[in-house]
A and B are shown apart, each in its own frame.
Chain A
């Protein structure tokens, strides 16, 4: 039985004359990744040179005009600004809260494992379900958030969380912080517990205060992990879609449209096909460059 198997997978694949040994191990997976992950972007280049829309399904060649539109598109520009703002606010909060929790849970206590297990749960729930949960939480009439605020202010408060003013932005931030602080927490906690205890003890014996030990012993030791966690979260925040879609659908108006929401609405509801294809190409090129550099830099590919 095994000889039949190994003759298929072993000799011809492993010791083929024309290809490097091991090529056939890697080929199927890489083929799928190129087919689904890479070729569509090349297809996008072709589509971006046409003028396909919902009403114009044949499309004629119009050169680079779609690309010219990108740079004068204020809505796209604002969606980029909003996405970056969500990153700029949510990421530091997640990091600081996650770090505080990680330090808090360095203490060895009987129930520690249970607390940690419970605290991690938000990070593994579907972001889409998390968005739905918070949509229910934030409902101004039937949700508990306003109720809790009213309890503390001791007078009835009715905030239109997903509708009015800047509140939708903050409802997105709260949802993101709620879901991904546990991610930062669990990674940092693991990193801190890997720090050399002897070094920390030695610093303590030499009279270093806790914040000095943190600053000069712990922080340098966990730095690489911290940067990787920030990179993963930062890029995830850049493509944020699910929770925004559930909370506000990009509204009111387009005040919470992030890049992904903008592209979805324009591409699949506005059918501005060729234009979005051009946006895809620009986004893919710019982000690939950033991601590759960042990944190499922090050594995530090692």
Chain B
């Protein structure tokens, strides 16, 4: 009886996993198929001769630059947002700057529709020549990542006992020294997880990039979207580019297991 229940449990789990992972499997499978096999009806369940030519094309035709652009923009924005966001969170936690109004303002920034911000911002950006430049996009993505970073960092810094910093202050450490040498090392793991998730969210972003980038700094998500044309749709490239964009995320998430719940619930749930 117990055996049977266990069996049912495993069977159910397996079915659910297959259903949820199938689309991911499919895009990987398509990316390995030969072009003529991609457009076979009915579709082949497995790539009959797996090959990496679809990926090679991305490199030879230069499409892979969009991955590089995503990396530069998301990476820089994450670093800046982590520095400013951790400082801000520290000010909020230890000095109670801004009180509840500031917390609400910051969390609301994460929840409001991005199109409402990016539409008027585009008008300003194109006037100032900031659209389709690295620095313009990095600034935008920094602002996009900041609410999340502040929010997460705030949660992790709240868990650092203030007594330790007070001891450091008495020993002649400055406030900033206390943050840098006591609080940050204590919250190290959490802050690292925050950076990883901030990077993933920026990496995954589409709407800002769609509006703000053209040829110079097009990100990989915009590149994929451009493969969908009214007449021709480049499935091989779509699949290969999606795989290139997804693999880093999958790797980062499997490293970040422990902080996953906190990362996706804005720190509301400590898993």
Contacts and interface: CB of A to CB of B under 8 A. Distances in A.
Given A22-B94, A29-B150, A260-B115, 16 more contacts: A5-B177, A6-B177, A32-B139, A121-B20, A122-B23, A125-B204, A129-B221, A186-B260, A186-B264, A225-B265, A228-B265, A241-B206, A264-B211, A288-B112, A291-B112, A295-B111
Interface string B65-92: 0000000000000000000110110111
Interface in A96-140: 101, 104-105, 107, 109, 111-112, 115, 117-130, 132-137
B91 A36 contact: no
Contact of B176 (A6, A47, A109, A189): A6
Interface stretch (B52-60, B95-103, B186-194): B95-103
Binding site secondary structure of chain A: helix
Interface range, A side: 35 or more
B13 A121 contact: no
24 contacts: A22-B91, A26-B92, A29-B87, A33-B109, A36-B142, A40-B117, A40-B120, A104-B12, A109-B6, A109-B10, A117-B257, A121-B21, A125-B249, A128-B221, A129-B245, A132-B224, A136-B30, A178-B23, A187-B269, A239-B113, A241-B115, A245-B210, A264-B207, A292-B104
B9 A107 contact: yes
A204 interface: no
The 8 closest A-B pairs by CB, nearest first: A22-B95, A10-B174, A25-B91, A36-B143, A126-B204, A190-B271, A9-B176, A29-B88
Given A35-B143, A117-B254, A187-B269, A13 B12 contact: no
B87 A300 contact: no
Interface in B204-243: 204-207, 210-211, 221, 224-225, 228, 235, 238-239, 242
B242 A133 contact: yes
Contact of A122 (B14, B20, B122, B142): B20
Nearest to B112: A287
Contacts of B203: 126
Interface range, B side: 35 or more
Residue of B14, B84, B111, B270 with most partner-chain A CB within 10 A: B111
Contacts of A21: 95
B161 interface: no
A263 B122 CA distance: 13
Contact of A32 (B12, B27, B84, B102): B84
Interface in B3-42: 6, 9-10, 12-14, 16-17, 20-24, 26-27, 30, 38-42
A253 interface: no
A21 to B, nearest CB: 6
B36 to A, nearest CB: 11
B124 interface: yes
Contacts of A61: none
A246 to B, nearest CB: 7
B225 A246 contact: yes
B115 A133 contact: no
Contacts of A124: 200, 204, 249-250, 253, 264
A231 B118 CA distance: 22
A89 to B, nearest CB: 19
A20 B102 CA distance: 15
Nearest to B38: A142
Nearest to B42: A147
B204 A128 contact: yes
B123 interface: yes
Contacts of B10: 109, 111
Interface in B156-177: 173-177
Contacts of B94: 22
B50 to A, nearest CB: 17
B142 A284 contact: no
Contacts of A10: 174-177
Given A29-B88, A263-B115, A133 B204 contact: no
B206 A126 contact: yes
A76 interface: no
Contact of A142 (B41, B253, B270): B41
A11 B108 contact: no
B121 interface: yes
Contacts of A123: 264
B146 A280 contact: no
A178 B39 CA distance: 25
A259 B115 CA distance: 9
A217 interface: no
A296 B37 CA distance: 54
B26 A40 contact: no
Contacts of A246: 225, 228
A109 B10 CA distance: 9
